[in-house]
Amino acid sequence: MRVYFKTFGCRSNIFDTELMKNLVNAEVVKNENEADLIIVNSCTVTNFADRDLRSYINKWQNKNIILTGCGAYTQGERLFKEGKIKAVLGHKYKEEINKFLDFRGIKLGDFNFINKKIVENFDKTKAFVKIQEGCDFECAYCIIPKVRGGARSLDENLILDEIKKLRDKGISEFVLTGINMGSYGKDTGTSLSRLIEKISDIRGVKRIRLGSLEPGQIDERLIELTQNGVLEKHLHIALQHTSDRMLRIMKRRNRLSSTLPLFEKLSSLGIALGTDFIVGHPGESEEIWSEALENFKKYPLTHIHIFRYSPRDGTLSAKMKQDVRGDTAKKRAKILEEIVKKNNYNFRKEKGELLVHIEDFKNGYSTGYDEYYNKMKIKKEFQKGEWVRVKDYNVKEEGNVKE
């Protein structure tokens, strides 16, 4: 049997797909046309994600399709009843994928599980390593706790063993990921900082990158570790908004009084700072937006992921009055993007020699990322996965370039 894996969504899904690829007893092919079976690892974070999933499945009706991932819980039963897919599998069964290659039906299971198996091969220059599953937060706009379950940590020894095995295969950069990654260890008596410390001590690990964290999950030890030369000097800390009134509507836990001093402290240590921000959420009046914008300008942000709000069926926010026009949300997003773009340019102008991990070579330039998660283009061919120290480069608005 020839199997093609299609992945939608987050880094945790990327990891889960790699895990299934490592475990499946079948030939993994590189495109749908070669496949007998397509396994779709889906996302359901927005209604748009559901639309994209349905569009993809409709396109490949000449193939047998198994649906797994978060969309299995919101779209699986409907797609199965419509005859669009042959099977639906919950997260619990990804590690047992071989048992279900010929399965027909729906099997979602519960969330009382945690990964027990590891990825030993990654076909990229860096490896995504999932350390945690699920989320205990109840943000008004988010469906994820309902389709991933509560927060739970993977075994520390399992994670360290996985990193050592991938290190032995030549991988030296590791991106730690999870659904609510900063909650790692709360159920096992340890912490994210302690885990990072142990990973940093593994010979051959040259860089650790982190996925998104919540402001309240940044402890002093984690801040200290950003200075150890292994943990990337870039933290992505989710704010979602900068008006306390809006944060209350969103049922968020962070507030300006604690997050702004945190960001200022991190910035003073030379750390690049990213965040997530939602514009156009119900209740984002002109008054609240103006307040948020003035506050936003105070944050020393160098990177941002901006999401224009769209209702997610099954969430509290979707029941609220949708009172922000789409074009208004688009304009607000553009304003924030321009602020951060300028911040990033000024941040990069102040840096000297950089350590760049090469990820690709295209059109005469090697490209990769430095320790601040900024992209570098170098007019010279290097091997993928190579580490290069770069100085005397040009700082341009679109990125750094070494001619």
Return the pLDDT at 120: 86
Return the pLDDT at 351: 95
Tokens of 182: 């900063």
DSSP 8-state assignment for residue 204: T
Residues in the chain: 403
DSSP 8-state assignment for residue 216: G
Q: What are the beta bridge partners of residue 234?
A: 272
Q: Half-sphere exposure of 213 toward its Cβ, with a 13 Å CA cutoff?
A: 25
Return the pLDDT at 47: 86
Return the pLDDT at 171: 95
> Cα–Cα distance between 400 and 403 in angstroms, integer?
10
* Span 97-152, pLDDT tens digits: 999 999 999 999 999 999 898 888 887 889 999 999 999 999 999 999 999 999 99
Q: Are 1 and 101 in contact (CB under 8 A)?
A: yes
Return the pLDDT at 46: 87
Tokens of 366: 């090697």
pTM of the model: 0.93
- Conformational region of residue 8, where left means phi above 0, alpha means psi within -120 to 50, and beta covers everything else: beta
> Cα–Cα distance between 293 and 105 in angstroms, integer?
49
* Alpha helix segments (H runs only) across 103-206: 144-148, 156-168, 192-200
In Å, what is the CA distance from 262 to each residue of 117, 248, 322, 349, 389?
Answer: 36, 20, 32, 23, 30
Q: What are the beta bridge partners of residue 6?
A: 40
Which uninterrupted H or E stretch holds 336?
helix 326-349
> Cα–Cα distance between 307 and 288 in angstroms, integer?
17
Residues 6+ apart with CB under 8 A from 23: 95, 97, 98, 117
Return the pLDDT at 123: 76
Q: Are 323 and 295 in contact (CB under 8 A)?
A: no
Please list the ranges in the chain whose pLDDT falls under 50: none
